[in-house]
Amino acid sequence: MKSETFAADRYDRMTYRRCGRSGLMLPAIALGGWHNFTQRDAAFAMMKAAFDQGVTHFDLANNYGPPPGRAEKVVGRLLRDHFRGHRDELIVSSKAGYLMWPGPYGEWGSRKHLIASCEQSLRRLRLDYVDIFYSHRPDDQTPMEETVGTLDQLVRQGKALYAGVSNYSGAATRHANELLRGMGTPLLIHQPRYHMLDRRIEDDLLPVTDELGIGVIVFSPLAQGLLTEKYLDAIPADSRASDPSSPFLRPEQVTEQVRDKVRRLQPIAAERNQSIAQLAVSWILRDARITSVLIGARTVEQVAQNVAALEAEPVSGEHLQRIEAILSQ
């Protein structure tokens, strides 16, 4: 298999932001494989389009598919066949915590689940290590010492370079950070949901990550596609909301209230020569406490459009105030 040729000026095209108070720089926009890395050709086209623009970070998890595991298998083949010689230019992450296999060890935060799942992910990805390994969700039934102690162990074994948590509250993040600090493995990063229609982390989590120097990469920045023009008139057939294999965005979530907000954001996007998707990305990056915006995409065009959000000026001043007025209603 031949190694691919990527754009020579890719690192001039991207903005890199420091991940908390760590040594790691992440691209302002990263690409995730939750839903759309099931077909090898399409996934490669999107990964190449992204890497050509300097997107060095690809985010995965044990259960991404469908079926669960498929996305890591696809990316494993692509890394081997097309990204040979580029491993040290890439940040590949994976996670464990959501249901992956039957029985009491197939999910949550036990040492048993996290170790077994990490080993499985490494085999699917055909990698010796992932750059970031996450506890995908908090587990009230498992001692925090056990969950984060396992992240520490995976880092010490060289199976992950950095530890992360996802979907943890501010208080749980503080606890995880304190324990990990005591073990000598810093908590690099948190991966929460954040977009114009869900701003819960602003009060709970961001003050904590900022104080503790933990990086933040936010998922579903376009509210899974709601923050685009596509749902304004109807639910198109080739959309996540109409895909029965994707139960996470249901037709009933496409409400008139959401449409109304998007319509009212349109003039602001137009004044900035942006699409709604681009405005949604730029709006997130206004906050320096956020390291990276983790987009999902179904097509190369969506990748290109979303990355091009970086070409616009930061959202500020009057635009920011008008957006605030729309979102707070």
Ligand X SMILES: NC(=O)c1ccc[n+]([C@@H]2O[C@H](COP(=O)([O-])OP(=O)(O)OC[C@H]3O[C@@H](n4cnc5c(N)ncnc54)[C@H](OP(=O)(O)O)[C@@H]3O)[C@@H](O)[C@H]2O)c1
Instruction: Please report, as ranges, the residues that interact with ligand X according to CB under 6 A.
Output: 32-36, 59, 136, 166-167, 191, 219-225, 228, 230, 239-240, 277, 294-298, 302, 305-306
d(CA 72, CA 94): 9
Structure tokens at 239: 């959309």
d(CA 153, CA 170): 23
Helix (H, G, I), strand (E, B) or coil at 120: helix
* Residues 291 and 206 sit within 8 Å (Cβ to Cβ): no
- Pick between residue 187 and residue 277 the one whose CB is nearest to ligand X: 277
- Pick between residue 83 and residue 134 the one whose CB is nearest to ligand X: 134
- Pick between residue 182 and residue 273 the one whose CB is nearest to ligand X: 273
Min dist CB 220 to ligand X, Å, is 4
Min dist CB 34 to ligand X, Å, is 3
Min dist CB 1 to ligand X, Å, is 26
- Pick between residue 67 and residue 182 the one whose CB is nearest to ligand X: 67
Query: Which residue, chain included where needed, has tokens 């083949």?
Result: 77
Min dist CB 144 to ligand X, Å, is 18
If you compute the radius of gyration of the chain from its CA atoms, what whole number of angstroms results? 19
Query: For 28, which DSSP code?
Result: S
- Pick between residue 84 and residue 248 the one whose CB is nearest to ligand X: 248
Residue 314 vs residues 197, 203, 221, 278: alpha-carbon distances, Å? 19, 22, 16, 11
Min dist CB 2 to ligand X, Å, is 28
* Residues 188 and 154 sit within 8 Å (Cβ to Cβ): no
Q: What long-range pairs does 6-9 form, CB within 8 A, spacing at least 24?
A: 6/48, 6/51, 6/52, 6/86, 7/52, 7/53
d(CA 229, CA 239): 12
Min dist CB 8 to ligand X, Å, is 26
Residue 62 has φ and ψ, to the nearest 5°, of: -50, -40
- Pick between residue 122 and residue 269 the one whose CB is nearest to ligand X: 269
- Pick between residue 84 and residue 204 the one whose CB is nearest to ligand X: 204
Min dist CB 82 to ligand X, Å, is 19
Q: What long-range pairs does 48-53 form, CB within 8 A, spacing at least 24?
A: 48/4, 48/6, 48/82, 49/300, 49/303, 49/304, 50/303, 50/307, 51/6, 51/10, 51/83, 51/86, 51/90, 52/6, 52/7, 52/10, 52/13, 53/7, 53/10, 53/13, 53/14, 53/303, 53/304, 53/307
- Pick between residue 185 and residue 239 the one whose CB is nearest to ligand X: 239
Min dist CB 112 to ligand X, Å, is 21
Structure tokens at 97: 């915590």
